[in-house]
Chains A and B, each alone.
Chain A
Amino acid sequence: MDHAFEFLVRQGDNVLVLGHRLSEWCGQGPVLEEDIALANIALDMIGQTQLWLSYAAEVEGANRTADDLAYLRDAWDFRNVLLVEQPNRDFAVTIMRQFLFDAYHVPYLHALESSKDQRVAEIASKCRKEAIYHLERSSSVIVALGDGTEESHKRMQAALERLWPYTGELFLSDETDDAVAESGLAPVLNDVKARWLQTVQSSLKDAYLQMPDNDFAQIGGKSGIRHSEHLGHMLSTMQVLQRSYPGAQW
């Protein structure tokens, strides 16, 4: 297995899948200002996808493009964590999923800026500027809604509990994680976890939300071994034109 390729595809797939999920909100946000904000994050993430997957395709050297990787792989070849493929459900789940991911994304990208691979460091640096803003926004929204009304509090707590089992996968190292940490391409996940936990604890406290004390983790996304049922449906929508009209230029 080419660990560098695997690592790059993981980065690209996380933002592709999450960006796609956010784009499902377009035109249906709870308030116009929030509709626009979600679209901004989606746009940033699609842009980040292009950077990661283009580099992945280059590293692979098999004449594929970022679009080929996005549109012509099946679910078992996707390498995103399970967290980002979870459906939007209500706004509480959407924004909580965003917060839990952003809180990981910022310190992870920060660490990637010291990657021994110059290109990875450059991409990470560009992405982190965007991610900092995403985190700023998602954390202030969960704080507001966790505090807000009885209903908003209840929904946010329920969203947190529902998504919590999907956070563990972000930090459980597997062979690829170990290999890229070893080679200096990417950080040791445990180091990132400490910073993630700090952010999560402090925001949840401000939001009057109770952090679940359960560390059970659902896994299988970043290895591709067992995605949720949701990913297949997302891809069947996302890839429909590329699959129906092979080789067409759009």
Chain B
Amino acid sequence: MYAQMIKSTGQGVKSDEQMTEQERAFQARIDAGEKIEPKDWMPDGYRNNLIRQIGQHAHSEIVGQLPEANWITRAPTLERKANLIAKVQDEAGHGLYLYCAAETLGISRDELVDMLHSGAMKYSSIFNYPTLTWADMGAVGWLVDGAAIMNQVPLQRTSYGPYARAMVRICKEESFHQRQGFHIMMAMCNGNQAQKRMAQDALNRFWFPALMMFGPSDKDSVHSAQSMAWKIKMNTNDELRQKFVDETVPQAHYLGLTIPDEQLVLNEDTGNHDFTEPDWSEFHSILKGDGPCNVERLEVRAKAWEEGAWVRDGMMAHAEKRASRKAAAG
């Protein structure tokens, strides 16, 4: 899952003359396609932007488990249940890879988690929407994972080595997620009236939130330009959103579903679809904390963390006791 709305800490792209010699050498390495590794020198802005981006990305994976976990206990067949557990479990794994990548930048997982719980760091707004029917498991896989994959594939080439490697692994593992979702949608659309209704309803509720996952239009954003120069961000939000719409429209047709946008039309000149922008005021209000599920999602995460404290402490205490017993015996 991808974290949008990264607020960069930089002041826009520095010109050659504004850069120090060290910064120029750093930029030259990035331009040459070299990977930056943890022990290499890097500008503070690069480090801080990455911590924020990887951290948000990790949090999105972890919080992103919740809307789907909401249906694990109600999955309608043994096979669907296993598929869904595997997918939600993958998300935990992806969160873990990303926290580990962030840790190479000098911040601990505990610090990152604290920032999530305090609201100092965000996660993707999409997970603040509720999952109300089984068809939402289809829509989330098809649309939300579809959008996430589109965001993540280019990040395999990002300039920071540990992040790029985490993304390679994540993209490989996520390849089944979108198909799993579409497979559920196919069953629903071939099903009875109630199932078809669930499928259309899920598309209606998730279409615009999925478009929001790419973030607001970034054509005027200086922050975005700096992130692209550093190859932390590989494409503009609008490019990816357009690509997503163009790929998804025929899939919806295949399912016999209607995309909830009356303005949606194939533009003969560009070959792309023209479509209605999502309601950005809704997006900003969710980022502020006013989405349908913001409070609950954070509450569940914080509770799990607090209630798990004795387990983490107990494990550590045992490891220390055992090491000292060994030392005493040795």
Contact, chains A and B (beta carbon distance below 8 A): yes
Interface of A with B (CB < 8 Å)? 16, 20, 23-24, 26-36, 39-40, 42-43, 46-47, 49-50, 53, 66-67, 70-71, 90-91, 141, 143-145, 147-149, 151-153, 155, 234, 237-238, 240-242, 245, 248-250
Most buried by B among A28, A90, A145: A28
Contact flag A152-B73 (CB < 8 Å), given A27-B88, A32-B62, A32-B95: no
Q: Which of A91, A144, A153 contacts B319 (CB 8 A)?
A: A144
Complex formed: what's the CA distance from A214 to B195 in Å? 52
CB distance from B170 to the nearest CB of A (A): 14
CB distance from A143 to the nearest CB of B (A): 7
Is A250 in contact with B321, judged by CB distance below 8 angstroms?
no
Is A30 in contact with B312, judged by CB distance below 8 angstroms?
yes
Q: Which of A36, A67, A148 contacts B318 (CB 8 A)?
A: A148
In the assembled complex, which residues on chain B have CB atoms less than 8 Å from the CB atom of A237? 73-74
Q: Which of B77, B300, B310, B317 contacts A250 (CB 8 A)?
A: B77
In the assembled complex, which residues on chain B have CB atoms less than 8 Å from the CB atom of A29? 92, 304, 308
Which residue from chain A places its CB closest to the CB of B133 in the assembled complex? A241
B78 within 8 A of A: yes
CB distance from B81 to the nearest CB of A (A): 6
Is B88 in contact with A32, judged by CB distance below 8 angstroms?
no
B158 within 8 A of A: no
Which residue from chain B places its CB closest to the CB of A143 in the assembled complex? B318
Q: Which of A31, A34, A46, A90 contacts B78 (CB 8 A)?
A: A46
Is A152 in contact with B317, judged by CB distance below 8 angstroms?
yes
Beyond A36-B96, A144-B315, 7 additional pairs, beta carbon < 8 A: A23-B85, A27-B62, A27-B69, A36-B93, A152-B310, A250-B77, A250-B134
In the assembled complex, which residues on chain A have CB atoms less than 8 Å from the CB atom of B317? 147-149, 152
Contact flag A245-B78 (CB < 8 Å), given A145-B314, A152-B317: no
In the assembled complex, which residues on chain B have CB atoms less than 8 Å from the CB atom of A145? 311, 314-315, 318
Is A23 in contact with B72, judged by CB distance below 8 angstroms?
yes
CB distance from B130 to the nearest CB of A (A): 15
Chain A binder among B116-124, B159-167, B184-192, B207-215: B184-192
One digit per residue, 1 when the CB lies within 8 angstroms of any chain A CB and 0 when it does not, for chain B 77-105 equals 11111100110110011011001000000
Contact flag A23-B73 (CB < 8 Å), given A39-B85, A148-B313: yes
In the assembled complex, which residues on chain B have CB atoms less than 8 Å from the CB atom of A248? 76, 191-192, 194-195
Contact count band on B: 35 or more
Contact flag A148-B314 (CB < 8 Å), given A23-B85, A30-B304: yes
In the assembled complex, which residues on chain B have CB atoms less than 8 Å from the CB atom of A36? 89, 92-93, 96
Is B313 in contact with A32, judged by CB distance below 8 angstroms?
no
Which residue from chain B places its CB closest to the CB of A152 in the assembled complex? B314
Is A90 in contact with B307, judged by CB distance below 8 angstroms?
yes
Tell me what chain B mostly uses at the interface: helix, strand, loop, or mixed: helix
Complex formed: what's the CA distance from A46 to B89 in Å? 14
Which residue from chain B places its CB closest to the CB of A245 in the assembled complex? B194
Complex formed: what's the CA distance from A35 to B72 in Å? 14
CB distance from B83 to the nearest CB of A (A): 10
B245 within 8 A of A: no
Complex formed: what's the CA distance from A53 to B81 in Å? 15
Complex formed: what's the CA distance from A30 to B321 in Å? 21
CB distance from A48 to the nearest CB of B (A): 10
Complex formed: what's the CA distance from A27 to B62 in Å? 7
Contact flag A149-B82 (CB < 8 Å), given A36-B96, A144-B318: no
Which residue from chain B places its CB closest to the CB of A148 in the assembled complex? B314
B65 within 8 A of A: yes
Question: Lowest 7 CB-CB distances: which A-B pairs, in order?
Answer: A30-B308, A152-B314, A148-B314, A27-B65, A39-B89, A30-B311, A241-B76
In the assembled complex, which residues on chain B have CB atoms less than 8 Å from the CB atom of A43? 82, 85-86, 89
In the assembled complex, which residues on chain B have CB atoms less than 8 Å from the CB atom of A241? 74-76, 134
Most buried by A among B62, B65, B303, B307: B65
Is A34 in contact with B89, judged by CB distance below 8 angstroms?
no
Q: Which of A26, A49, A67 contacts B85 (CB 8 A)?
A: A26
CB distance from B327 to the nearest CB of A (A): 16
CB distance from A84 to the nearest CB of B (A): 15
Is B73 in contact with A250, judged by CB distance below 8 angstroms?
no
**Can you list 13 A-B pairs with a CB-CB distance of less than 8 A?**
A26-B69, A27-B69, A30-B304, A32-B92, A32-B96, A36-B93, A39-B92, A40-B89, A91-B311, A144-B314, A152-B310, A152-B311, A250-B80
